[in-house]
Amino acid sequence: MKNLKSYLESGILEQYVLGDLSVEEMLDVEMNALQYPEVRKELEEIEQALTSYAKSIAIEPSIKAKTNFLNAVNTIDQVNNSSSANTGESYIKSLTFYKYAFAASLSLLFLSSILLINLNNKLNESYVQLAVLQSNNQKFSNQVNYKESELSDTKNALQFYQNPAAYKLVTLKGSAKAPEASLLVALNEDKEEVMIDLSSLNMPSNDQEHQYQLWAMVDGKPVDLGVFDAKNDSTGMKKMKFIKDAQSFAVTLEPKGGSLNPTMDKMMAIGTI
């Protein structure tokens, strides 16, 4: 069967269990059940569900109801024995009508339950697909933001390399905590720019909870110039905050996002202008 899933979801198996199909349709279902284990399993599950549902709504009649029912049966027997054939036939027809009406109501209730379950499953599938789509959109947005940041760094690097004479270069050397650390800082006071050369960066890679922070010393006070990450493949120039009248630059390792004041015992590199 090409579309087995569609066949299982068509509702024809529920109609088969309820006896609402023609003889030809019932034979077709039975042939499919013999040929496809999935169809046979689905039929068994539908039958079990119908049986469980019937048991769940079954109500044990009270003693009074049982007594009334037996009395009614005795009355029917008396009426059948004393009344004419037409009267008996009319009563039996009425009883038969109510029996089939009750069966039809039960079938309609069961089919409604099946439709509600299928609708709920489809809604759940839609919610899952929507969540996946939102997650993919967020990932795409993050990638766009990352590429825009890379493009900005590339523009800054191009500007520096096109006119390196306009920048004052300050080499930061490692502290006692990190003797091998180093970083090149470029300062252009006319354009009010401070940039760091990531290709010159020689510091251990920071983890996700920490970042390196650049400071400028102005009249003996540290001024925050922004944070950056150290990666093995870092290249290009990264633009930092600008401050006038800086006498020196320094780098410390701080919690992610930076600190208000430098952590002196985590000083990585320092250089005088």
In the chain, % of residues over pLDDT 70: 56
Over residues 87-137, the pLDDT tens digits come to: 445 544 454 554 555 555 555 656 666 666 665 566 566 556 666 666 666
Q: Which two tokens stand for residue 200?
A: 């010159």
Distance of CA 81 to the CA centre of its chain: 72
For the question of whether the overall pTM of this predicted structure is more than 0.75, the answer is: no
Domain range annotation of the chain: 4-132, 165-272
Helix/strand/coil for 263: coil
> How far apart are alpha carbons 42 and 260 in whole angstroms?
66
CA 174, CA 202: separation in Å to the nearest integer? Answer: 9
Residues 6+ apart with CB under 8 A from 240: 194, 195, 196, 214, 225, 226, 228
Cα(58)–Cα(60) distance, integer angstroms: 7
Instruction: Read off the DSSP letter of residue 180.
Output: T
In this structure, what are the phi and psi dihedrals at residue 232, rounded to the nearest 5 degrees?
-65, -30
What pLDDT does 4 receive? Answer: 81
What CA–CA distance (Å, rounded) separates 177 from 265? 8
Position 88 scores a pLDDT of: 46
Q: How high is the pLDDT of residue 132? A: 67
CA distance 241 to 226: 6
What CA–CA distance (Å, rounded) separates 47 from 34? 16
What does the pLDDT read at residue 152? 60
pLDDT, averaged per 10 consecutive residues of the chain (273 residues), comes to 77 77 79 80 77 58 54 53 49 49 57 61 61 68 62 60 77 92 92 89 91 95 94 79 94 95 94 92
The pLDDT score that the predictor gives to residue 47 is 73
- Token couple for 149: 């940041």
